[in-house]
Structure formats: structure tokens, C-alpha cells
Structure 1
Amino acid sequence: MKRAFLCGLLAAAALAVPANAARTVPVHVDGGRLPGTSYLESGVTYVPLRYLLDALGGWTVDWDSTQKAAVASSGSTRLTATPSKDTIQINQKTLRGNVTLSNGRTYVPLRLVAEALGNEVEWDPYLQGASVTSAHADYDAEDLYWLSRIIHAESRGESLEGQIAVGNVVLNRVKSKEFPNTVSGVIFDRRHAVQFEPVANGTLYQTPNTQSVEAAKRALDGESVVGNALYFYAPALSQGTWINANRVYHMTIGCHRFYL
């Protein structure tokens, strides 16, 4: 990315958030990037209320000029965010947190609001942002986000079976005592050098295609095509010297050889 273009993006981001914002951060809901700009200030992540509720689904959001507050409803749940009072009212419950109106957007504390509505919020140290798993989600948002990306980066040209196999290896490592116990921890593991080349060359951060997301979901659902395999490599791209010398060959799918 050219420096001038990057500077332009940073300048645009700075104009889109309150002046006292510490820094902009990414926020994902069920694995999808939240639109607009979110920011981190004093350890709290703030997001545009409308974008958050739109991502969670089933909400209508309006600005009440009489109350000077953002009002939203979903079924029998009503939410009112009032900047002048720094309050978020959800039915009969009042939450207190910094509510800011900036550039026509009402910003609210992400964790405070999302968890009050029954969703889960995690800080992702590898994303350097927040990950929200909605109450109706079938998969952990952080797991789906990273697993679909490593599958895409490692095997986007492979069959669905081959992509599921890559997902299986990652999840097998999560279960193994030899590796970290989270999907992101396995992918970014550096104890014995970088484990996955896409982490080093940056292709991990590419948006996964539909098949890669499907493969990640199937792997997370427990579909397995390579048993207990913990390693793989593509002979066309690597000699796999260490794997061949130290691990037991299991099977080949597409361009990848898998090892126990």
C-alpha cells in the first residue's frame, strides 16, 4: 500500500471519531467486520450504536429529536441511548457509560451494551480489536474469523475436502497438549518459529471466499477428513524435511500431504 494512500485513510478515520478518541480499532460481529469506525479509549471500545444493532439483526434504530436520544427496538426490547445523560436504558434497566454523539453517529461502550443484550464480547489480541459472538450465533466469532482465514490462505485453490482438512489440522492442534489451546493461538504460535507461512507473508489477512468459510464451519461442526493429523505441507512449495523425518505420513488430499 502506498504511503500517501495509507495516510489518507488514517486521516479519514481520524475525522470519523470523536476528537478525544485514543485510536481506531476493528470490531467484528459473528466474524463480519462492523461498518463505520470504532475506537478504543481508556480501555473501552466504543462503536456506532446503529451499526452494532444492525449487525446483531432484528433491530430498528431511530433518532428521537425530542428526547435527543437514539431509540431502538427489537420485539419487546426497547433501548434508549442518551448522550446528555450518559445512560443506556434497556427496558427497565439503566446502564451508565459514556454515550457520545459525533458526526451524526451515537457511540456507545461495546461490551456494556452487547453483553446486556445477551451477546459475548472478547478482546482479540491478534486482531487488536473486539470480537462479538451474538446470542443466536452457531459459532464463536473469533474462531470462525481466524479459521476461515487460515483455510483460505493455505488452501483456497483446493477442494472443499482439502480445505476442511486444513481446518482439521488447526483444530486438532487446539486439542493437543503440544500446542496452544485456542484457534488464534495455534495459528500465531511461534514457539518453534512461525507455524503457518500465511502469518509471515500476510496472506492470512485476506478476506476468505465462501468455500473457505463453509469449510471452517464444517470443521468447527466436527466434520473430519484427516483423523488426528497435526501437520501438512505442499510438496510443490516445500520439501517438508522436518515433517518427513519426524512425523508419520497419514494421507494426501489435493496438493497437501498430511502427517500425524
Structure 2
Amino acid sequence: MKKFICSMLIASTFLISPISHAESFVMHTAKAGDSYSYISNEFNVNIDTLKELNQDKDNIISEGSLVKIKPISMNKTITIKVNNEKLNPEQHPYIENNRAFVPIRTIANALNADGIIWEDSSKTAILVQDKKTIRLTLGSNIAKINDQDVKLDAPISVYEGRTYVPIRFISEAFDCNVAWDNDNKTVLVNTTDSYDEDLYWLSRIIHAEATTQPLEGKIAVGNVIINRKNSPNFPNTIKEVIFDTNYGYQYTPAKNGAIHNSPSTESIKAAKLVLNGKNNISGCLYFLNPRKSTNNWIVKNKTFYKRIGAHDFYR
């Protein structure tokens, strides 16, 4: 029987603190040796403005602490909407490395996670939903989905008495669609089946595998996924093809977490063209970069079809 210790909020990182009326800020997690002078130069912000923003009179920055860089926008805070319903986080979200961070309880409740567990010995928050477990350790930019390491764009931190986690990473790990409305500074999360799941995952594998390739190369990578989906020898959905582990991970981005990206306009265009039937590699089921690949099995056992950009395609 699963043991969900929602009362783990007794841990110091989850203690309730007074509601702050500050705006949402762009943040920086301090590293060893960081100073206001360094941060001022790094982010092109006046040093006196930084000190005032952080109400710092001692000129001391502790490693791992969050430093406010600037408000995300004058008199605005980040809005979170799940299925178009606005959430009311206990504390304001913030931005670090272009990623929105929210209190862990806010997103866990919104996505109906089965439970939140606090592991005090390792300072790790654990989210559980169905057969998926996400481990998030304070101060670390490496999360775990089940037993797979995934690199985050910024570390898990404590802010205003709450443990904050990247909303896009958590949402996508739980198979939700995420978008950013920059004009309104709003994170849009969709948990329903109304969005095009095939386009969602196909555009992301194309972006992860072929971001530097020409459009034709992106289309070709997308068609390998489609050809596998249509083959009796592979899973029958795009998502299952991408995450197929029958003979180990078939695609590195699914293994290392790079699949959880924000695809470029061209990657989305390529995915749409592929889904609408454009095929430039016939029935190819394999591709590799001959300058980087160590997979000799494909070269020895499959038939070369053509090269597009940096990739060779095989039947």
C-alpha cells in the first residue's frame, strides 16, 4: 500500500509563511563566489538596484540563495492556468533561465498528483502519479523521473518559505501540454485530450534530434517516427515509439530528458507537414549521424537510402 505523507509539509521548506504581495521576479540562484558586482555585470542591472530589490544591507550572498534580478514586468505577476482555470498559488511564481517556477503543492494539486512525499534525509520532494514518480532535490538541477535523470534549466529552490519547482517540467512529465503566453505572462497547462498529442510529441522529437538540420532533414526525422508507428515491429503511437525501450532507449532525447523542450517554429512546421502526409524518405525506419553515431548495427544490417543534412537514413 502506498504511503503518501502529505503531512510532510512539517518540513521547514514547506512551512506556511505570510502571503507576499510582491510581483513575480526574474531570479538567479547564487553560485559559490557570486557577488552583487558579478550579478550586476552578468544581467546588466544596476548594482544599487539589485541591493535595494533584495533588501540587502550586508553585501553577502549565500550560495544557493535566490537573488531577485528584476520584476518580470511592471505591476504584473505570472498567472498559471490549468485547463483555462486560473490557479491561486500560495506565493508568486518566479522566472529563472526562462523557466517559470511555482510552489510544488500548487502544481501537484492542480494536476491531481496521487501524493507528495518529503524525504528529509536527502531534502527531496517526491511527486507520485499513477506509475510515475518524480524526485526533486533541493539545490539540485537534476530531477529523476522514475529512475531516469533529467537535467533542469535551474535548480529546485526554497522561496518565501515554499519549495519551488519548474512548472513546465512537472506538467510535461505528467503528460500535459504547456505553453507560455508572453504578452500576458501566463503559463497555460492543458491536461485534457483536446490538444493534438501527436503534434506535441512529434515536434519535440524533431526539435531534439534535428534542431540544427534544414527543414527537409526535420521532415525526414519525423517520417522515421511515423514509419515506425505504422510498422508492426514497433509501438503503434508516436509517443510510444519515441519512448520505446524494447532494446534500450531508441532515442537519446527520451533517455536524457531533451525531449522535454520547446520546439522551434520550424520543428512544429515539419511535424505538421509530416502528419499531413509529406514523406521524403520512403519507408525508412532508422537514421543516424555518421559523424557521431557508434551504432554499427544499423550500418551493417540495414539498407542505406539517402543522406539529408547531417543524417543518414536507412530502410
Q: 1:14-163, aligned counterparts within 5 Å? A: 14-15=105-106, 22=113, 127-129=174-176, 131-132=191-192, 134=194, 141-163=196-218
CA contact (8 A) 1:126 1:184 kept: no
Q: TM-score, normalised by structure 2?
A: 0.44
Quote the offset at 1:201 in angstroms: 1.8
What amino acid is the match of 1:148?
Answer: S
Paired residue type of 2:271: A
2:202 partner SS: helix
SS at match of 1:162: helix
1:226 equivalent in alignment to 2:281: yes
1:110-158 CA distance string (max 9 Å, x none): xxxxxxxxxxxxxx99644465454xxxxx6111110000000000000
Distance 1:13 1:222, change over 3 A: same
| 2:303 paired with 1:248 | yes
After TM superposition, where is structure 1 displaced by more than 3 Å over at least 4 residues in a row? 1-5, 8-11, 15-19, 21-24, 124-134
Taking structure 1 as the reference length, the TM-score comes to 0.52
**Gap regions ≥5 residues in structure 2:** 1-27, 30-63, 67-93, 95-99, 116-127, 131-170, 177-189
Structure-2 change in CA distance of 1:177 and 1:41 (3 Å): closer
Q: Using the alignment, how far apart are the partners of 1:204 and 1:4 within structure 2?
A: 29
* Counterpart residue number, 2:103: 12
Counterpart in the other structure of 2:247: 192
Tell me by how many angstroms 1:203 deviates.
1.1
- Distance, in Å, in 2 between the alignment partners of 1:174 and 1:127 is 22
What CA RMSD, in Å, does the superposition of the two structures yield over aligned residues? 3.5
What's the CA shift for 1:240? Answer: 3.0
- Where in structure 1 are there 5+ consecutive unaligned residues? 25-39, 43-123, 135-139
Cα distance in structure 2, aligned partners of 1:23 and 1:226: 43
Q: Which amino acid aligns with 2:298?
A: I
Q: Distance in 2 between matches of 1:190 and 1:152?
A: 20
Aligned to 1:204: 259
Query: Is residue 179 from structure 1 mapped to residue 234 from structure 2 by the alignment?
Result: yes
